[in-house]
Chains A and B, each alone.
Chain A
Amino acid sequence: MAEAKHRSFSFQRVFALTVNTLIELTRQKVFYVLLIFALLLIGSSIFMARLTFQQEFQILKDVSLGAMSIFTSLLAIVATARLIPQDIEDRTIYTILAKPVPRFEYVLGKLAGVLLLLAIGTLVMSAMFLVVLYTREQTVLHETLRQMSAAPREQVDDALRAVRSSALNLDILPGVAVIYLKACLLAALTLFVSTFATTNIFTMVVMVFIYFIGHLQATAREYWLQEQSAGWITHALLAFVALLFPDLQTFNLVDDIVAGAAIPFALFAKTAALGIFYTTIYTLLAALVFYGKEL
């Protein structure tokens, strides 16, 4: 019987690693703790504010999307930081790499597992959020109809339109997609950091710093490119921040979506492309460093 030819890249091997990573991650308590916390926050936001319907919807959306953003970012960092050190500690990495599995496939499979977990988490939270928002919207619509039963048709229509425009709008969906892309970027970056880090605690600490600096990158970049009066040390430092760190502020579209701003498709597409670009680059860099890592 002829031996199957070994391929330099196999989707099947990557898929097997992805599924395995996903199963491993879902067995970790941290995933459930974070998910339950986020779901509780989204669910309880319905009781947080008994204000006017505009205020209520605004707070509900802010809290829910904020919870999704926190959960996905935290999970991306915490789950990814543990991947390689855990495999080294459990010695499973030796079993895998002793087989004809290229290191790039290992890195890709591991990251894909995290991205899949993040996708599941985002979908569950989005479903919960949309159910809560829809339920509240229907309640407010019924209340409005009841209160305005004697009002002229035009006024009722205006009031219903105001309720609908404050509640569910389709712009929320690109906002959720961008939250997910930001989490993907953070996961890829964490994987890159973890390839040269010695412990997962170190990776997490570094990622927390990167998270904060990434949100200030845009300010540093603009100052570096526009301000000529600053000294060369300041310039060099700003250039370092602008070139080395991703601009995480770009991915915070939900703040403006919740405020009622419409997101142009071009902006969404470019933001998504930038997110995919960052994720790809950091994954390739992680693979490059991992190839040279002594195990």
Chain B
Amino acid sequence: MIRFLLVLVIVLVVGAAKLPIERELSAIHRQEHFRGIEFNLDLREQLGQLGFIAALSGFRSIVADVLFIQAHVAWERTEWSRVLLLFRQVTTLQPRAILFWDMGAWHMAWNASVAAMNDRSQPRFALRIKAQREYFAIGKDFLERGIKNNPERPQLYESLARLYKEKYQDHARASEFFAKAAAIPGASSYDKRFSAYELSYCDGRERGAYQRLRQLYDAGENERLPTLITRLKFLENKLNIAQDQRIPDPGP
């Protein structure tokens, strides 16, 4: 009995001693954006009992993969509501996986939106456009939440820039997000260039776009790509840049 009490006291004392260490580790996890998942009733309802138990036992990445494969199958069957539901679950379970946010946004803004526009069961064009815009917004929401969970990684900024460019034709926002991506370590080398291209399409911001494109042009041969030269030529004409300051015409 004495030994049992002694063991119990030791366990409790050790338990109290470990608390600050465990709390500190939890704080580091939160700071690093790990454990962005809360095990609550909402998640339980979303995942089902088995999935919830598996996620609870430290296998949430595997549960997320299984759901992701289910979402892939749902996509092949063009079951868009199911795709959306599954991607919401997947991104809830693995908020640090860029791939899942990106795929969820792509399915919604590119695939489901096109399907909504071509939906023959909806005779009213206005409602088809409305549905399409809703899918754009869902795709944007995926990317924005993904960025919130992964602010230090450039890929989702780049995807959001593409969405603004291709789906909303909002070149100013596209330029802004390409620039944000370019400012993050590990970004693709073209992000900076794309940001300047997009700015060159914005009315009233030609001067700034010209300066950025010219800066890239002056950076060396590697940056003198056909699109950059075309946009620069276009801006030179639009801004009436003096002939002696213009870039030479590309060779034949």
> Which A positions have Cβ atoms within 8 angstroms of B?
49, 51, 54-55, 58-59, 62-63, 65-66, 69-70, 152, 154, 158, 165, 211-212, 215-219, 221-222, 225, 242-244, 246-256, 258-261, 264, 266-267, 270-271, 273-274, 277-278, 281, 285, 288-289, 291-292
**B97 in contact with A258 (CB, 8 Å):** yes
Residue ID in chain A nearest B54 by CB atoms: A66
Residue ID in chain B nearest A61 by CB atoms: B61
- Among B24, B33, B57, the residue within 8 A (CB) of A261 is B33
List 12 A-B pairs, Cβ < 8 Å. A51-B72, A58-B99, A242-B19, A249-B35, A255-B61, A259-B98, A260-B153, A267-B25, A270-B21, A270-B25, A288-B6, A292-B3
**A212 in contact with B26 (CB, 8 Å):** no
Judge if B65 is at the interface, Cβ distance under 8 Å.
yes
- Assembly CA distance A55 to B186 (angstroms): 20
CB neighbours of B107 from chain A (8 A): none
Tell me whether A259 and B56 are in contact in the complex, defined as CB-CB below 8 angstroms, given that A222-B26, A242-B15 are known contacts.
no
Residue ID in chain A nearest B2 by CB atoms: A292
**A243 in contact with B11 (CB, 8 Å):** yes
Judge if B60 is at the interface, Cβ distance under 8 Å.
yes
**B21 in contact with A158 (CB, 8 Å):** no
**A243 in contact with B16 (CB, 8 Å):** yes
- Assembly CA distance A218 to B62 (angstroms): 21
Minimum CB–CB distance for A214 against chain B, Å: 9
Tell me whether A244 and B12 are in contact in the complex, defined as CB-CB below 8 angstroms, given that A218-B22, A249-B35, A250-B25 are known contacts.
yes
CB neighbours of B34 from chain A (8 A): 253, 255-256, 261
Minimum CB–CB distance for B90 against chain A, Å: 11
**B14 in contact with A250 (CB, 8 Å):** no
1-57 of chain B: CB within 8 A of chain A: 3, 6-7, 10-12, 14-16, 18-19, 21-26, 28-29, 32-35, 39, 53, 56-57
- Assembly CA distance A264 to B34 (angstroms): 12
> Which B positions have Cβ atoms within 8 angstroms of A?
3, 6-7, 10-12, 14-16, 18-19, 21-26, 28-29, 32-35, 39, 53, 56-62, 64-65, 68-69, 72, 94, 96-99, 103, 153, 186, 188-190, 222, 225
**B60 in contact with A255 (CB, 8 Å):** yes
- Among B16, B24, B53, B97, the residue within 8 A (CB) of A270 is B24
Tell me whether A260 and B39 are in contact in the complex, defined as CB-CB below 8 angstroms, given that A158-B188, A285-B7 are known contacts.
no
Minimum CB–CB distance for A278 against chain B, Å: 8
CB neighbours of B6 from chain A (8 A): 288
Tell me whether A221 and B189 are in contact in the complex, defined as CB-CB below 8 angstroms, given that A288-B3, A288-B6 are known contacts.
no
Minimum CB–CB distance for B68 against chain A, Å: 8
- Among A63, A154, A211, A242, the residue within 8 A (CB) of B62 is A63
- Among B28, B99, B186, the residue within 8 A (CB) of A264 is B28
CB neighbours of A278 from chain B (8 A): 18
**A59 in contact with B65 (CB, 8 Å):** yes
CB neighbours of B22 from chain A (8 A): 217-218, 221, 247, 250, 274
In the A-B complex, the 3 residue pairs with the smallest Cβ-Cβ separation, listed nearest first, are A243-B15, A259-B96, A259-B97
- Assembly CA distance A49 to B19 (angstroms): 42
**B32 in contact with A264 (CB, 8 Å):** yes
- Among A158, A266, A274, the residue within 8 A (CB) of B189 is A158
**B72 in contact with A221 (CB, 8 Å):** no
Minimum CB–CB distance for B167 against chain A, Å: 21
CB neighbours of A154 from chain B (8 A): 189-190, 222
Minimum CB–CB distance for A172 against chain B, Å: 13
- Assembly CA distance A189 to B32 (angstroms): 29
CB neighbours of B96 from chain A (8 A): 255-256, 259-261
- Assembly CA distance A69 to B60 (angstroms): 12
**A277 in contact with B189 (CB, 8 Å):** no
**B26 in contact with A250 (CB, 8 Å):** yes
Tell me whether A215 and B65 are in contact in the complex, defined as CB-CB below 8 angstroms, given that A154-B189, A289-B7 are known contacts.
no
- Assembly CA distance A273 to B32 (angstroms): 19
- Assembly CA distance A169 to B76 (angstroms): 32
**B58 in contact with A249 (CB, 8 Å):** yes
Minimum CB–CB distance for A56 against chain B, Å: 10
Question: Given A55-B103, A218-B22, A249-B58, 9 more contacts at CB 8 Å?
Answer: A158-B189, A244-B11, A253-B34, A256-B32, A258-B97, A259-B96, A261-B96, A274-B21, A285-B10
